[in-house]
Structure 1
């Protein structure tokens, strides 16, 4: 039937069982979007909702349900899934498009993309339950996502820097994520408009708090006057290796590592931007 468009061919080629799985999955999506009670969602997930995989239906995984909870900010459901299934709720499900499992977890990136700070904090706390340090590191710092996914090849920290999500970035760094993305933070600060500058500046400040030492940055050497005016003399000198770190930065480092609330509740005159 060459006159049919591709979507119609796909519809005809799918079996009634496969179409039924799609309908139940969409019903579950709508139920999470409406933030129905947790017990009802779990009954649906375990008994009524199915995915089509390898030619047969299967129940929705907790990790797939958590993705729905993230998108619709259903915090109660996210909390239940993480408490009940722990780290397994964060392991990446198999991709329906390329039929393989990616490294890392898409959940952290998705939380940053939708700015779900509360659920991101829950997930970061759950990662402490990893018995294997290597798995925890992979989930926290992995570049999760297949090549066709929008945020593929980016860690959650890098994405938080690019999107200027300082609250998400602080949660990740406090829970042990690698403070990568300093060059991207500088680029974002230099190119953002006035309304985005505060978030970009705060992301840069947070990265500086958690960096053990600044990496070599060519852009600072190429335009020293521009970056000196943006960063201030003390920070610029430290990043270029010409001066020790500012005293306020050193004082705030221990405070930042003790928890996200310790930095967020400081008065404005003690916030990281005041060291510039």
Structure 2
């Protein structure tokens, strides 16, 4: 019996290593931007990952993570068109040591600044057939406790990394515009080369805020924050005045689609 168990363990170890080898080959194939038909043939027939003591084929949601990391637009588009929101489900525990966590696709797209693929995903959520509430997914936190993005929403991560194009995609599709305090602190602490992007993130949050959050520390340093925000926006955030008329007009444009804002002439682009 002990001999049979030893043979079984060796067999499992061999199979596990074989799965690691084929999984890495699939990763490399996506990285090399191989054609979609070939990647799907590999995923369904040739490559396997190890899960719950045995080999299995990669799930569409796991393949989508590879497509996001390596910016493979055609493969991401195929997976989202073929499997819809099924491709956005949380990967299995073989991809994450914290089973039961949230799906990481949005935060991975934000971290790698994959604006076009993020747009595809938010469109898929809009037409997702009600498998889950869209806003719950957009506002969900990365579920893996050991990851750098643990506990952060995609919006919060976009603010932290100063990725305004990703932030705009999330906001126009209904993500909650939280992170204003982080955006303000980021703006005054970041290096000059990053300041323009940080400013854009702040401006976009302001566009989508229905009412300003309570930030009592703004009043503690009025001169500093008036210089950063301008007197009108500062007064609005402190609850002393309504939002500026230009901000209200831009908000109507922003909430009707990202192209309405990005196509504005430079002098009308959102700025505090």
TM-score range for the pair, normalised by the shorter chain length: over 0.9
User: What's the CA shift for 1:145?
Assistant: 2.5
Paired with 1:65 and 1:24, the residues of 2 have a C-alpha distance of 13
Say yes or no: does 1:195 pair with 2:189.
no
TM (normalized to structure 1)?
0.92
CA contact (8 A) 1:94 1:102 kept: no
Q: Which runs of 5+ in 2 are unaligned?
A: 1-9
Say yes or no: does 1:81 pair with 2:63.
no
Per the alignment, residue 137 of structure 2 pairs with 139
Distance verdict in 2 for CA 1:210–1:13, change over 3 Å: farther
The superposition leaves residues 126-172 of structure 1 with CA deviations (integer Å, 9 ceiling, x where unpaired) of 00123338532222110023110110100000000000000000000
Paired with 2:142 and 2:136, the residues of 1 have a C-alpha distance of 9
Paired with 2:233 and 2:219, the residues of 1 have a C-alpha distance of 14
CA contact (8 A) 2:98 2:144 kept: no
Q: Which residue of the other structure, out of 52, 63, 85, is the alignment partner of 2:61?
A: 63
Map 1:86-97; keep pairs closer than 5 Å: 86-96=84-94, 97=96
Per the alignment, residue 9 of structure 1 pairs with none
Runs of 4 or more consecutive aligned structure 1 residues displaced over 4 Å after TM superposition: none
Q: Which residue of the other structure, out of 14, 17, 23, is the alignment partner of 2:15?
A: 17
The superposition leaves residues 45-82 of structure 1 with CA deviations (integer Å, 9 ceiling, x where unpaired) of 01111111111111000000000000110000000000
Q: Which runs of 5+ in 1 are unaligned?
A: 1-11
TM (normalized to structure 2)?
0.93
Instruction: Give secondary structure in 2 for the equivalent of 1:15.
Output: helix
Cα RMSD (Å) of the superposition? 1.5
Paired with 1:196 and 1:147, the residues of 2 have a C-alpha distance of 28
Paired with 2:92 and 2:129, the residues of 1 have a C-alpha distance of 23
Map 1:33-182; keep pairs closer than 5 Å: 33-96=31-94, 97-98=96-97, 100-103=99-102, 105-132=103-130, 134-182=132-180
CA contact (8 A) 2:19 2:48 kept: yes
Paired with 1:135 and 1:15, the residues of 2 have a C-alpha distance of 41
Per the alignment, residue 208 of structure 1 pairs with 206
User: What's the CA shift for 1:205?
Assistant: 0.4
Distance verdict in 2 for CA 1:102–1:147, change over 3 Å: same
CA contact (8 A) 1:143 1:152 kept: yes
Per the alignment, residue 5 of structure 1 pairs with none
- The count of residues paired between Structure 1 and Structure 2 equals 262
